[in-house]
Structure 1
């Protein structure tokens, strides 16, 4: 924390405001994600992922290894440009900070959901309860396993996703991990 705070102190406006917003967000919302100063920028390392921020001279960069999230930020902030494992955003686009916070939530929540397939979240359960029971049964019984082909998912949890819900569990035949995406209607 001390090194990240020193990094922030060395910046001037608007760089300082953007970095401070993102660092405070990560500290408050995800206190368990390890914070460090890696490659001279604030970096957050979780189980199998990283998120980092940098205040460049003319733009702010959001770094991660999750290319889908980078594409999502680019879609939500059309003026942003793509870099190598990062999105570059001009400082005049203040609404982008909120989009980056949502992207952080997406990365961390998705990774957490992949770690514990049997745990469900309330928002996902509400969405799943709106799916008719006969359709739920069809979806649970029509999951693809890379080893077995079409199978039934067992011991699954239900997780919220920006597109709907994800069932994370195990193949009934071989016991391998499987998932099923159920899009919002």
Structure 2
């Protein structure tokens, strides 16, 4: 028996435990604030904001929330991200830490602006 993959942000978030739900709903809300015209979809199995192209993804993991703005964004915000675990294209924020809301929003806006330039 295979479990059907979530088709919406709501389905994705509601499948998580309470701690993860709290972080995911916060993430969704703060990204909607700065990307009000972006559409939502599940891409690569993760909630994704997009406008013609993907802007930013996020996902729940066992010990952290992952944010996926792409490798170039990680490079641009390297100084601001020093206290977080990062890899090429990914930021990991442990559940015991508060979400760095302003930083996430700055990264999302940067991604939006730069994705538009890629046309």
Runs (4 or more) in structure 1 with deviation over 4 Å come to none
Aligned match for 1:102, one of 102, 106, 113: 106
Q: Indicate whether 1:60 and 2:65 are aligned.
A: yes
The structural deviation recorded for 1:7 is: 1.1
Q: 1:35 aligns with which of 9, 19, 40?
A: 40
Q: Which has the higher contact order (CA 8 A, sep 6+)?
A: 2
Equivalent position of 2:74 in the other structure: 70
After TM superposition, the structure 1 = structure 2 runs for residues 31-180 of structure 1, keeping only pairs within 5 Å, are 31-65=36-70, 67-112=71-116, 114=117
Report the CA distance between 1:73 and its aligned residue. 4.5
Q: Distance in 2 between matches of 1:95 and 1:36?
A: 22
**Higher relative strand content:** 1
TM-score, normalised with respect to structure 1: 0.51
Pairwise CA RMSD:
2.4
Structure 2 gaps of 5+ residues are 1-6
Which of the pair has more CA radius of gyration? 1
